[in-house]
Chain A
Amino acid sequence: MSYIDIVPIGDIEEPLLLFLKQSLFQTFKIETKIRRQRFDLSSVYDPTRNQYHSSGLLLQLINDAPPEALKIIGVTELDLFIPIFTFLFGEAQLEGKGAIVSAHRLHNPFYGLPENKDLFKNRLSKESIHELGHTFGLIHCFNLRCVMNTSTYVEDIDQKSANFCRTCERKVFQWQEGKNI
């Protein structure tokens, strides 16, 4: 039976993982599981930037993925980067298996504002759905309410909904049908 593998990278609160488990299941209609895995963080840490190389972490995530997992998403509080960019909210393999999402810049205090736990949870959920959406072959959507709409700023995440638009939703389920899921 296919499932979506949710893997915390570093410390992630259990209730948050359970919230994600639920919201990803509701969106993709695929069973979700939480799995713990060890990561070699020192190999992906850049001391000059004080950030973690996103692609390196994603590679570790995929290399250790169980074969029966349909998709795998790593969730971390670490601040992610790739060399050309200053930061990333997340990274995904387009129509591939893995994705990673960083909660680091989704917290209000990062922007000097008081913490809002509900807002944070929703942001993380939207970004996780968004990155997993890419693994189902979706590119960014022009529909401002669609979860696949691009998010340049954290406020953009708040503007969009946690749902796919009809077109993107159809594509996700067509992709699943194509794989007999």
Chain B
Amino acid sequence: MASTFNPGMEEEMDSQSIGILIVDDEFSVRDSLYNWFKVEGYRVDTGANATEALKKLQESQWDIVLLDIKMPGMDGIELQKHIKKIDKTIAVIIITAYATVDTAVEAMKDGAFDYISKPIDPDKLSILIRNAINQRRLVAENIQLKQKVEELSLQDEIVGESPQIKKIQEMIEVVAQTDATVLIRGESGTGKELVAQAIHGKSNRRYFPIISINCGSLAEGILESELFGHEKGAFTGAQYKRKGKLEMANGGTIFFDEIGNIPPKMQMDLLRVIETKQFAPLGSNKIINVDFRVIAATNTDLEKEVAEKNFREDFYYRLNVFSIHIPPLRERPADIPQLAHYFLKKYAQSMNKKVTDISPEAMKILTEYDWPGNIRELRNSIERALVVVGKKSRIEKEDMNLPHLVRPTTLEADSLEDLERVHIQRILEKNSWNISKSAEILKIDRVTLYNKIKKFNLQK
């Protein structure tokens, strides 16, 4: 008899998409539950034993399995283990008689979502199914978010094949698995924050935030409030209670950029927080316990600052547990082509441009340049070149606009005339061949500049 029952359950989700498999050796149980769920609009199927159930589990996707413990052949406990091997996220609800509650508890220890005793109270079944669906949804969301985090953590890669970069990548892998404090050193623009993000992204803390604070950009009072947070009325202008970055980093990583610029008093305060993992917000007596990993970065010579008593020695040693030095780009020119192509691909995609290559001439300029601004400058140059490239499919020499295109060491300009030619070419390229502007910079008139261009056979 195809019968339907009420009471039923209230479910806000699209019940058609939820699949429920009922596994019980008693026909009446299968039939009753089948009809009960069918009328709710769920996708339902039944299995009379483990073999049938496993076949149906292989054939399609199920969200919830209602599983009888006592069945001939493989029992529910054993079957649950097989179900979890197929899909560990399936919510298994054990159906049991009162006499076998102990077994149901055992099943729950093996990962069952819950159990329900026969005869089933329809109210309880409704709630149980709703909770199981919610749990499935949370698990699915969790998996989705984790994938998103993985994707985000891979958004900016550490690119390069040079031995120096390979060494840094190895160090990141090693230190990410620990909770050690890391001090990243390198010139401005070398990618210190990227390394910090990579360490965080590969660590067990990756599902918690990485909070960055630039110690060099904030005045002492503001830095203190930013780090520790404050209560309402803690100081003039503190109209609201505010959570500090140390608290926001709880569970994750705090990244102190430009740590060398931190004022001496703050060095002492921070040292204490890093040691104890405790602090009180400004204007509060309440001690807050936090758990974070510290990564700091600097481009200043900390040893010199310690020697000159500008940086506390104890703070220096607390930070310098594991040090990573990022060499400037000029020391690893072999990485330039790969980095250039990486940024080309990234920005071409974001600007929706079909530029896929860099001409050999343009690449020669890139590899011969000093890059005082390091990777940041290279990135900006590629981004700018993509703006001016127009509809071409590759970046050409004339699309590049670097302030010091040619290094003196690479100049084939021994004579005064050669130097003049190179200098005029550089000024013209720097000013996008704007004759008036270039002439003004060269402090010659436009006619003279035209004559020089003709004389030296200069071309765009």
Contact = CB atoms under 8 A, between A and B. Distances in A.
A134 B35 CA distance: 11
A76 to B, nearest CB: 15
Contacts of A142: 11-12
Contacts of B126: 150, 152
A58 interface: yes
A90 B6 contact: yes
B362 interface: no
Contacts of B40: 139-140, 150
Contacts of A149: 10
Contacts of A15: none
A83 B28 CA distance: 8
Interface stretch (A17-25, A92-100, A112-120, A162-170): A92-100
Nearest to B125: A85
Contacts of A108: none
A59 B1 CA distance: 8
A84 interface: yes
Contacts of B125: 85
Contact of B39 (A82, A83, A86, A139): A139
Contact of B29 (A84, A127, A139, A153): A84
B6 A55 contact: no
20 contacts: A58-B1, A59-B1, A81-B119, A83-B29, A84-B119, A85-B5, A86-B122, A87-B121, A87-B122, A89-B7, A90-B6, A92-B4, A127-B6, A139-B4, A149-B10, A150-B126, A152-B123, A153-B123, A156-B7, A156-B10
Contacts of B35: 94
B7 A94 contact: no
Contacts of B33: 84
**Interface of chain A, helix or strand or loop or mixed?**
mixed
B32 interface: yes
Nearest to A150: B8
User: What bracket does the count of chain B residues touching chain A fall in?
Assistant: 20 to 34
Contact of B38 (A82, A94, A131): A94
Nearest to B116: A84
B2 interface: yes
Interface string A55-80: 10011000000000000000000000
A153 B6 contact: no
A116 B371 CA distance: 87
A152 B120 CA distance: 13
A93 B10 contact: no
A109 B401 CA distance: 88
A5 interface: no
**Interface of chain B, helix or strand or loop or mixed?**
mixed
Interface string B3-23: 111111111100000000000
Given A83-B28, A152-B123, A89 B12 contact: no
Interface string B178-219: 000000000000000000000000000000000000000000
B32 A153 contact: no
A83 B12 CA distance: 28
Contacts of B127: 152
Contacts of B146: none
Interface in B94-146: 118-123, 125-127
A95 B38 CA distance: 12
Across the A-B interface, give the 7 residue pairs with the lowest CB-CB distance, nearest first: A150-B8, A84-B32, A134-B4, A86-B121, A152-B126, A94-B4, A92-B4
B3 A85 contact: no
Interface of A: 49, 55, 58-59, 81-96, 127, 130-131, 134, 139-140, 142, 149-153, 156
Contacts of B4: 91-94, 131, 134, 139
Contacts, number: 107
A42 B36 CA distance: 26
Among A49, A85, A93, the most chain B Cβ lie within 10 Å of the Cβ of: A85
Contact of B7 (A58, A82, A95, A153): A153
Interface string B255-275: 000000000000000000000
A150 B6 contact: yes
B233 interface: no
B425 to A, nearest CB: 73
Given A84-B118, A86-B122, A152-B123, A131 B6 contact: yes
Contacts of A127: 6
B397 to A, nearest CB: 65
B390 interface: no
Interface in B36-58: 36, 38-41
A91 B39 contact: no
B23 to A, nearest CB: 14
B120 A92 contact: no
B1 A93 contact: yes
Given A83-B32, A93-B2, A94-B4, A150 B9 contact: yes
Contacts of A93: 1-4
A55 B119 contact: no
A52 to B, nearest CB: 14
Contacts of B10: 149-150, 152, 156
A91 B7 contact: no
Given A49-B119, A84-B32, 13 more contacts: A83-B119, A86-B119, A89-B6, A92-B3, A92-B5, A94-B2, A94-B4, A140-B41, A150-B6, A150-B7, A152-B8, A152-B122, A152-B123
Nearest to B29: A84
A93 B35 CA distance: 9
Contacts of A140: 6, 8, 39-41
A88 B1 contact: no
A96 B2 contact: yes
Contacts of B1: 55, 58-59, 93
B330 to A, nearest CB: 65
B119 A58 contact: no
A82 B121 CA distance: 11
